[in-house]
Chains A and B, each alone.
Chain A
C-alpha cells in the first residue's frame, strides 16, 4: 500500500499544475488595463523617437517639435492665389483654378471627401440634415445631457444664397470656416477642397434637375425605376 503522504502530494501537484493554464485562459479571454507583459524584451522599446512619441526632455513632452513661428513647409506656398485662397484679384474666383481638371474621377474624389468631412453635419445630399445636426438639436432641448451645447444649424446647401455663391467663395468657406463651421484647411488638402467644391456643385445640380437635363437615351431608365409616381398610379388603376 502506497503511504498516504505520497498520494496527497501527487494530488496537490496536479491541482497546482492546473492553475497556470487557468490563469492563461483568463488572460486570453479578458481585457486588461495593465501594460502588456513582454517576457523577452529584445529591442522592443528603444531610445529613439518616432512619430508622436514622447520625449521627456521637452516641457511639452513632444518628440515632434512644433515648427518655429514663420517656418514654411516645402510645397506649402504655391504661388497661385486662385488655387490656395479661391480669389482672383481680390474677388471670389468664378472658375476652378487652372491646376485642376474637373473630370469624373475628380468628382468621385470630391464625393468621397464630402462623405468623410462634410456629411456628418450637411447630410449625404447636402440638405443640412446630417446626424451631428440631429444629435446637437436633441442636446439643445435636453439640457441635462446637453451640458452647455450651443448650435447654429449647418446650412442647407440647396438654399438659393449658396446656389448663388461662386466656387471661390465655397472653397474659402471650407478652408477657413463660417459661423459654427470649423476651418478644415489643416485636415483637407487644397486639391481635395476643390474636389469637394465640385461635388457640392454636382449635388446642387442633381437636386434641381429637370427631365431635360438627362440624356434622352437614359430617360427610359429613369421611368422604369418608378421615380415618376403618376405612372404608378395609372398602372394600379389599370389593374383594378
Chain B
C-alpha cells in the first residue's frame, strides 16, 4: 500500500505538454507585448503637458480661424516653426481681455522681458534635424504631423514622430501632398480632395524625391 507514495501521480504526465505550451506562449507574449507597449504609439502619442498659460489653439486657430503662420511665422523659411515671441500675443492681448487672470503670467513676463515657460510638446531626439520649411514649401501640410490642432483645447502629440513613421511618408509621399495654398488648412484632406493622378502631378511639380539616406535627417 505505502509503496504508492513513491510513484509519480498520474497528472504528472501533463508536465511535458504544459512545459512545451508555456515555452511557446511566454516568448510570444513577451515579444508581442514589447512591440505593442514599447512602440512610440504607446509611449509618445497623447503627450499633453500642462502649459503655464491655458492658451487654446481651438479658440485661436479654430474659432477665430487665424492662420498658423500669424504666430509661427518662421515656418516657411526656417527649420523650426518657432514659438512666437510674447510680443505676438500682445498684438491683441494688450487690449483684449487684458485683466483676465489666465493672462496674468503673459503680462508679467512681458513687462519683465522674460520668456513664457511653455512646455515643448513635439520633441524629436537631439540627433534628428527636421526642417519645417523643406516640407511646407513642397506641399506637406501642418496637419500631417500635428493633427487637428485647431480642435485642440490643449495641444497634444498626435503622431508617433518615430523614424519608421517618417520613413513611411518618405517612401510614399503622395498621399500627404496638397496644393501650397492649403498648407495651413487643417480640415483639407488630400485623399478626399484630390485624385491619385492630381497628387502625382503635385509630386512632379515640386520634384519630390524624398531621400532615405541617414545623413538627410541625422548629423
Contact = CB atoms under 8 A, between A and B. Distances in A.
Nearest to A187: B73
A144 B207 CA distance: 54
Contact of A52 (B73, B82, B127): B82
Interface in A1-37: 1-3, 17, 20-21, 23-24, 27-33, 35-37
A135 B96 CA distance: 9
Given A36-B44, A117-B70, A131-B64, A20 B114 contact: no
Contacts of A48: 126
A42 B69 CA distance: 34
B8 interface: no
A28 B38 CA distance: 10
B98 A147 contact: yes
Task: Please classify the interface of chain A as helix (H, G, I), strand (E, B), loop, or mixed, using the class held by over half of its residues.
Answer: loop
Interface residues of B, number: 52
B136 interface: no
Nearest to A30: B46
B97 A31 contact: no
A17 B126 contact: no
Interface string B43-80: 11111111000000000000111110110010000111
A31 B156 contact: yes
Contacts of A3: 11
Contacts, number: 124
B201 interface: no
A147 B97 contact: yes
Contacts of A45: 125-126
Given A42-B125, A117-B70, A1 B95 contact: no
Contact of B97 (A1, A149, A187): A149
A138 to B, nearest CB: 11
Nearest to A146: B97
Interface residues of A, number: 55
Contacts of B111: none
A27 B65 contact: no
A60 B99 contact: no
Interface stretch (B29-37, B138-146, B169-177, B190-198): B29-37
Nearest to A134: B64
A148 B99 contact: yes
Given A27-B42, A52-B80, A187-B73, A21 B96 contact: no
Contacts of B79: 51
A74 B72 CA distance: 22
Contacts of A147: 97-100
B29 to A, nearest CB: 6
Contacts of A186: 85, 87
A182 B48 CA distance: 32
Contacts of B98: 147-150
Contacts of A188: 73
Contacts of B80: 51-52
A20 B50 contact: no
Interface in B92-116: 92, 94-100, 113-115
Contacts of B29: 17
Interface of A: 1-3, 17, 20-21, 23-24, 27-33, 35-39, 42-46, 48, 50-52, 60-62, 112, 115-117, 120, 131-132, 135-136, 139, 145-151, 180, 182, 184, 186-188
Given A35-B49, A182-B92, A186-B85, 17 more contacts: A20-B37, A21-B33, A24-B33, A27-B46, A28-B46, A31-B47, A31-B156, A37-B43, A44-B126, A44-B127, A50-B126, A60-B115, A120-B66, A132-B96, A136-B96, A139-B96, A184-B91
3 tightest A-B contacts by CB?
A148-B99, A24-B37, A182-B91
15 contacts: A20-B33, A31-B46, A38-B43, A39-B38, A43-B127, A45-B125, A46-B126, A131-B65, A136-B95, A149-B96, A150-B98, A180-B95, A182-B91, A186-B85, A186-B87
